[in-house]
């Protein structure tokens, strides 16, 4: 059975889109054979389906229903359609992913999340906490005005933003999923086990 982190990440990447196995493999940072194992698992559980030819893999109705149960807790913005961040926050020529989380009792200064991201293959991670409508670094009271919210109705559901960045997409996305499971394992894993 594939790891929870890989299943979760695959579901999040397939949200409202279809991806080919090779593209998905690079986003997961896994071999094509390991990606096939994940996709076969999702197909066997009727969560995803592959189109013939070049259509790629997409979520089934059951897969979308599972993702709708996960989305109150986390949402991946890998297409940069929800949150816009200036390059001075993470540096030029680096890719990034933004994970929005709803975490009860968040108590961190962001260093553990950064270290976890580095262990997973990203260059680093920024942790931002929402206070009312303002995003702040943890333990800081200075608003971070550089964060531009493109879709506020989506973002208002979450109280934590993790921005992973680096040059390897697989490491970046893997880091986001690992951080989600670190904070929300008790909420996400039971959903994945259904």
Instruction: Evaluate whether residue 190 is within a structural domain.
Output: no
Instruction: Evaluate whether residue 192 is within a structural domain.
Output: no
Question: Does pLDDT of 107 surpass 90?
Answer: no
Share of the chain above pLDDT 70, in %: 100
Instruction: Evaluate whether residue 193 is within a structural domain.
Output: no
Distance CA 40, CA 38 (A): 5
Q: Which one, of 170, 82, 169, 175, lies nearest residue 127 by Cα?
A: 175
Residue 28 sits in the same domain as residue 83: no
Number of Cβ atoms within 10 Å of the Cβ of 114: 21
Number of Cβ atoms within 10 Å of the Cβ of 138: 15
In the structure encoding, which two tokens stand for residue 55, read together? 């259509």
Q: Which one, of 19, 12, 153, 130, lies nearest residue 69 by Cα?
A: 12
How far, in Å, are 50, 103, 106, 170 from residue 73 at the CA level?
27, 7, 13, 22
Model confidence band, residue 131 (pLDDT cutoffs 50, 70, 90): confident
Residue 29 sits in the same domain as residue 124: no
H or E element that contains 50: strand 48-50
CATH number of the CATH domain containing 173: 3.30.1360.30
Residue 15 sits in the same domain as residue 101: no
pLDDT in tens, 24-72: 999 999 999 999 999 999 999 999 999 877 779 999 999 999 999 999 9
Domain that holds residue 91: 74-184
Strand-pair partners of 166: 95
Q: Which one-letter DSSP state was computed for residue 137?
A: -
Residue 136 sits in the same domain as residue 112: yes
Instruction: Give the residue-averaged pLDDT of 70-98.
Output: 88
Residue 103 sits in the same domain as residue 166: yes
Q: Which of 47, 70, 93 is the last residue of a domain?
A: 70
Q: Which one-letter DSSP state was computed for residue 151?
A: -
Q: Give this prediction's pTM.
A: 0.91
The pLDDT of residue 113 is 95
The pLDDT of residue 180 is 95
Determine the Cα angle at 130 with ends 77 and 152, to 5°: 50
């Amino acid at each position: 059975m594939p790891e929870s982190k890989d299943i979760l990440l695959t579901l999040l990447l397939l949200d409202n889109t279809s991806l080919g196995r090779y593209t998905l493999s690079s986003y997961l940072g896994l071999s094509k054979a390991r990606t096939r194992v994940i996709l076969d698992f999702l197909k066997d559980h009727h969560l995803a389906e592959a189109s013939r030819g070049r259509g790629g893999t997409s979520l089934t109705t059951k897969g979308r229903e599972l993702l709708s149960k996960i989305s109150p807790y986390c949402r991946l913005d890998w297409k940069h359609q929800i949150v816009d961040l200036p390059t001075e926050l993470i540096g030029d020529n680096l890719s990034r992913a933004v994970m929005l989380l709803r975490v009860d009792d968040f108590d961190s200064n962001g260093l553990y999340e950064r270290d976890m991201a580095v262990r997973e293959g990203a260059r680093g991670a920024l942790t931002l906490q929402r206070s009312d409508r303002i995003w702040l670094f943890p333990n800081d009271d200075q608003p971070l005005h550089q964060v531009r919210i493109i879709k506020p109705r989506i973002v208002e559901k979450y109280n934590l933003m993790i921005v992973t960045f680096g040059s390897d997409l697989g490491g970046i996305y893997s880091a986001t999923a690992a951080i989600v499971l670190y904070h929300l394992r008790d909420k996400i894993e039971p959903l994945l086990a259904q």
